[in-house]
């Protein structure tokens, strides 16, 4: 693969989970016209993980780039809108027992400035309302079950993400990939073939024999069949930073189908946290926890109690293991890894599919720029590693900032001596009343989250000086929270009811 090529030749994608089909459609969209042949192989004996129902606003860009409108995919995937994530129970500090991580846009700038102002005062031990929720329209949209689709009169640009059924979105992307010319094989790979130089050359399958290709994409999930097993790229565990390695998932019906909240709820539990994701037809629930602190049976029991399921309820629970960490190199020889095969950060901020997109988009750019040769592979690998590590840092901070005392799990998470230099510097500047914006901008080259997200988590969890705040001098402007609250509530009238929007979309799609 050293000579300059006209096109990437035959690409074989191994795995038909969300990562496999997202990769297939993105590559087909980018390189279809070059005559690139793309084949996706998946095993019906192994199946897909079938969880992963939350996303980040990057997913919106994914569909936009492919030219697929919300109405053309959401009804098929029981999709709903997501305005942000709410975190109840992570902090016990009075006034900060729950906080909201909003999605925001340039339209939020005046409110963000107001939030910064109060937060800075509070950080300097002065009395000021600094809970981010108050200042972000997105919080009110989520709470009042609105869709983030303003009428033109609102003069507001909302950013948002989605919730969807993990299996249905795979089916949808499959149909669209096949329409773009992607070949599909259902078979199980038994052996991976390599050349004498160590490149991959093909895969032996149960029914189709040897399938050869020029380039391979490993989307085989946690088994990491090509890059982990055949190419033996080392895996860097995040276990020291993130304790959770198990999950138990259980769907429930909507308590009140008429009210469709447009947010993910991530509630702290005794040994981890529980997600609640509203889809059009049901609610996705799950408990992410640490097997060092809790066994499967107790986790399921705690989740059932959290969901208030009656004793005679027989909803089936799915127990899952999570391999948390990342590969040392995502692109090795003639193989790229995407999805769970490349790594996974526990799903607290629903970032896995965002990293899938980042990986595939960056790969296309680098590979294409270098004339479809591996030049730039090292730079690509460093970039993907930075994305992984920076998302890990942000997720880690949720645990580091917790103030719960109820179990050894939370105490250990707070006292965790492992922290990256990036997080150490952020906490140092913040705790000493320094200029965090400058510090975050200094680190911006290797940051996945914006300064506002960092401020929201630090202020939202009430990480302020312990001594009681003083009254500010009269000439110091403090924002009265009633102002932004009132303005946001006023804005709500320009946003439609979430349930009505998704039901209308479905009715239109079905031609009702």
Ligand X SMILES: Cc1cc2nc3c(=O)[nH]c(=O)nc-3n(C[C@H](O)[C@H](O)[C@H](O)COP(=O)(O)OP(=O)(O)OC[C@H]3O[C@@H](n4cnc5c(N)ncnc54)[C@H](O)[C@@H]3O)c2cc1C
Residues that are catalytic = 82
Q: Does 387 bind ligand X (CB under 6 A)?
A: no
Look at residue 28 and give its three-state secondary structure: helix
Q: Does 16 bind ligand X (CB under 6 A)?
A: yes
Q: Which of 125, 188, 420, 422 binds ligand X (CB under 6 A)?
A: 188
Q: Footprint of ligand X on residues 311-340 (CB under 6 A)?
A: 320, 322, 339-340
Q: Which of 6, 34, 35, 47 binds ligand X (CB under 6 A)?
A: 47
Residues 358 and 375: their CA atoms lie apart, in Å, by 19
Q: Does 213 bind ligand X (CB under 6 A)?
A: no
Q: Which of 13, 77, 192, 225 binds ligand X (CB under 6 A)?
A: 225
Q: Does 347 bind ligand X (CB under 6 A)?
A: yes
Q: Does 348 bind ligand X (CB under 6 A)?
A: no
As beta bridge partners, residue 193 has 202
- Residue 360, classified by CB atoms within 10 Å of its CB into exposed (0-12), middle (13-18) or buried (19+), is buried
Q: Which of 286, 451, 460, 484 binds ligand X (CB under 6 A)?
A: 286
Q: Which two tokens stand for residue 67?
A: 């030219």
Q: Which two tokens stand for residue 349?
A: 């901020």
Q: Which of 11, 30, 51, 74 binds ligand X (CB under 6 A)?
A: 51
Choose between 18 and 177: whose C-beta lies nearer to ligand X: 18
Which string of DSSP letters, residue by residue, matches 127-167? -----GGGG-HHHHHHHTTB-S---GGG------EEE--HH
* Nearest distance in Å: CB 263, ligand X: 13
Look at residue 408 and give its three-state secondary structure: helix
To the nearest 10°, report the CA torsion of 150, 152, 153, 154.
Answer: 30
Instruction: Give the total of residues touching ligand X (CB under 6 A).
Output: 38
Choose between 75 and 343: whose C-beta lies nearer to ligand X: 343
Q: Does 40 bind ligand X (CB under 6 A)?
A: no
Q: Which of 26, 36, 123, 220 binds ligand X (CB under 6 A)?
A: 220
Choose between 221 and 251: whose C-beta lies nearer to ligand X: 221
CA neighbor of 88 nearest in space, from 370, 306, 246, 333: 306
Q: 321: which residues sit within 8 A by CB, 6+ positions away? A: 222, 245, 246
Choose between 247 and 459: whose C-beta lies nearer to ligand X: 247
What is the distance of C-alpha 369 from the center of its chain? 28
* Nearest distance in Å: CB 233, ligand X: 16
Q: Does 223 bind ligand X (CB under 6 A)?
A: yes
Look at residue 82 and give its three-state secondary structure: strand
Which parts of this chain interact with ligand X (CB under 6 A)?
A: 14-20, 41-43, 46-49, 51-55, 166, 188-189, 219-221, 223, 225, 247, 286, 320, 322, 339-341, 347, 350, 352-353
């Amino acid at each position: 693969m050293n000579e300059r090529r006209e096109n990437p030749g035959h690409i074989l994608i191994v795995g038909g989970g969300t990562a496999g089909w997202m990769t297939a459609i993105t590559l087909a969209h980018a390189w279809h016209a070059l005559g690139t042949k793309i084949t996706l192989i998946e095993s019906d004996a192994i199946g897909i993980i079938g969880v992963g129902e939350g996303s980040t606003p990057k997913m919106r860009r994914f569909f936009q780039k492919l030219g697929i409108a919300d109405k053309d995919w959401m009804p098929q995937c029981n999709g709903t809108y997501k305005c942000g994530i709410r975190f109840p129970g992570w902090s016990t500090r009075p006034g900060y027992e729950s906080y909201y991580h909003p999605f925001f846009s340039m339209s939020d700038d005046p409110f963000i400035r107001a939030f910064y102002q109060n937060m800075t005062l509070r950080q300097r031990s002065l009395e000021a309302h600094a809970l981010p929720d108050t200042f972000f329209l997105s919080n009110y949209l989520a709470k009042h079950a609105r869709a983030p689709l303003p009428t033109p009169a609102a003069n507001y640009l909302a950013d948002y993400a989605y919730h969807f059924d993990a299996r249905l979105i795979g089916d949808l992307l499959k149909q669209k990939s096949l329409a773009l010319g992607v070949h599909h094989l259902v078979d199980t790979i038994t052996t991976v073939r390599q050349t004498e130089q160590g490149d991959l050359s093909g895969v032996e399958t149960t029914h189709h024999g040897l399938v050869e290709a020029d380039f391979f994409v490993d989307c085989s999930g946690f088994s990491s069949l090509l890059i982990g097993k055949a190419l033996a790229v080392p895996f860097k565990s995040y276990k020291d930073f993130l304790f959770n390695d198990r999950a138990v998932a259980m769907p429930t019906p909507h308590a009140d189908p008429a009210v469709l909240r447009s947010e993910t709820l991530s509630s702290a539990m005794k040994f981890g946290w529980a997600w609640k994701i509203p889809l059009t037809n049901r609610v996705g629930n799950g408990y992410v926890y640490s097997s060092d602190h809790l066994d499967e049976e107790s986790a399921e029991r705690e989740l059932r109690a959290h969901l208030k399921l009656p004793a005679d309820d027989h909803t089936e629970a799915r127990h899952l293991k999570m391999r948390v960490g990342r590969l040392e190199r995502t692109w090795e020889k003639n193989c790229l890894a995407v999805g769970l095969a490349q790594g996974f950060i526990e799903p607290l901020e629903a970032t896995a599919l965002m990293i899938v997109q980042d990986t595939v988009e960056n790969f296309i750019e680098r590979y294409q720029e270098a004339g479809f040769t591996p030049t730039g592979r090292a730079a690509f690998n460093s970039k993907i590693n930075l994305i992984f590590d920076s998302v890990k840092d942000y997720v880690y901070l949720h645990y580091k900032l917790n103030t719960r005392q109820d179990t050894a799990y939370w105490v250990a998470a707070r006292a965790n001596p492992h922290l990256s230099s990036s997080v150490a510097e952020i906490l140092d500047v913040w705790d000493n009343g320094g200029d965090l914006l400058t510090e975050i901008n200094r680190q911006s080259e290797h940051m996945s989250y914006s300064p506002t997200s960092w401020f929201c988590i630090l202020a939202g969890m009430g990480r302020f000086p312990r001594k009681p705040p003083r009254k500010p001098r009269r000439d110091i402007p403090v924002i009265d929270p009633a102002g932004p609250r009132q303005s946001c509530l006023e804005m709500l009238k320009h946003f439609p009811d979430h349930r009505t929007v998704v039901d209308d979309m479905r009715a239109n799609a079905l031609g009702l």
